[in-house]
Structure formats: structure tokens, C-alpha cells
Amino acid sequence: MKGTGQTVGRVGEVTDIAYAVVMLASPRADIINGTNFHVDAGISPAIN
């Protein structure tokens, strides 16, 4: 979507957040700690 300021070209949806939550709650994410996830389609200019 042109003009949204997002790098993926579309507006985020509730399911995008849900997919991130499900992934982080899964056993496959047991090695992930101490990180920030920005589920914002690339609109955040910060690098953490």
C-alpha cells in the first residue's frame, strides 16, 4: 500500500500479532530471550 510508511506494502492486521505471539509461545522459541520484536511492518526506524 503506497504511502503507509511501511516496508511490506500493506497495513498490519490482528493476525500478524497473533502469529508472532504463537511463535514466541511455541516450544521452538525456547532459545529466544532478551530481544525486542517489532511487529509493525518495518515502520520503526530503531535498531535494537
- Per-residue model confidence as pLDDT tens digits over 3-47: 556 677 778 889 999 999 999 999 999 999 988 888 887 777 766
pTM: 0.65
Separation between Cα atoms, residue 48 and residue 36, nearest integer Å: 7
Let me know if residue 46 belongs to a domain: no
- What is the pLDDT, as a whole number, of residue 6? 62
The number of domains in the chain is 1
- What is the pLDDT, as a whole number, of residue 18? 95
Let me know if residue 12 belongs to a domain: yes
Category of 5 on φ-ψ map: left (φ > 0), alpha (ψ -120 to 50) or beta = left
The domain of 18 spans 1-30
Let me know if residue 47 belongs to a domain: no
- What is the pLDDT, as a whole number, of residue 26? 96
Let me know if residue 36 belongs to a domain: no
